[in-house]
Amino acid sequence: MSHPRILVARSVFPEVIARLEQHFDVTSNQPDETWSKAQLIEKLQGKDGAFTTGGERIDAEVLAACPTLKICANMAVGYNNFDIDAMTAAGVLATNTPDVLTETTADFGFALLMATARRITESEHFLRAGKWGKWSFDMFAGSDIHGSTLGILGMGRIGQGIARRGAHGFGMKVIYHNRSRLDAAQEAGCKASYVSKEELLRSADHLVLVLPYSPASHHSIGAAELALMKPTATLINIARGGIVDDAALALALREKRIAAAGLDVFEGEPRVHPDLLTLSNVVLTPHIASASVPTRLAMANLAADNLIAYFRDKKPLTPLNPAALASR
């Protein structure tokens, strides 16, 4: 009996490819080429499954052109590259990789917060440029983290991880806003208090965005929201590009209407709004919040596990649209 045929759309760990090859006829993209939609459709011809990494858009057009496709396993917790409704209608299962990246991403979110508040990137560039000639009392004086107010927009697993780090490690007052309020035990574990979005924006010294992207959350932080923030506040985005209006943020940073920003994600990435690149009061990283070797390997293995489990007994570990199983 022939093995199911799968496409691995981006370069991943060789040991994960080797695992997949024990179960599937694998076509892989270890050269890590970036494909157009037309090229992706071509590569998916005759494939039963796909291992994707967040950048491959699976929509109605792709699904219509690839009728043999049964499952797409995303090596990411986010899945805004998937048109879930279209996939469900086509009977194509979608899976993601939650939980395994929670603590690593929360670590990075806090690292980005600290680098932004304490002006680490800006001061390093100054030093490397040979500009450090003397000490001065206000040289790269930033804002305190300990004892300040940490605001979190989006209080899922990663948001709660950041809250715990702030409350327990730095004695921060933690406030949050979410579509639904946490239960009392969860709030107590994070030492977090629920507030309205407006109060969150007005009160936070450091605002961290950790909400999922959807059409409803597009530009959740725009000019009006930035206008509510303190001029001394910092904004950290480790959520998804499009959550923030990057043009409005660049203008607010240039006019010092907020103090600084730390961004790991961008609208239209890997392109970055050119105005952001000209500013010294923004820390920029290339979507690496989950990028530790152990975590990325765990993500890849979970995506592989979903493919293996689906073709073994139709019981994937982390399905996003289980209704697609019924239609199959």
- Only one residue has tokens 């995303």, namely 74
Please give the DSSP secondary-structure letter assigned to residue 168: I
Cis peptide before 270 (omega within 30 of 0): yes
Asked if 84 and 251 touch (Cβ cutoff 8 Å), the reply is no
How many CB atoms are closer than 10 A to CB 180?
7
Residues with a catalytic annotation lie at 240, 269, 287
Three-class SS of 74-89? ECCCCCCCECHHHHHH
Please state at what angle helix 102-117 crosses helix 293-313, rounded to 10 degrees: 150
What tokens were used for 235?
A: 């904004």
Asked if 92 and 69 touch (Cβ cutoff 8 Å), the reply is yes
- Only one residue has tokens 């917060």, namely 113
Please state the separation of Cα 207 from the chain's center in Å. Answer: 16
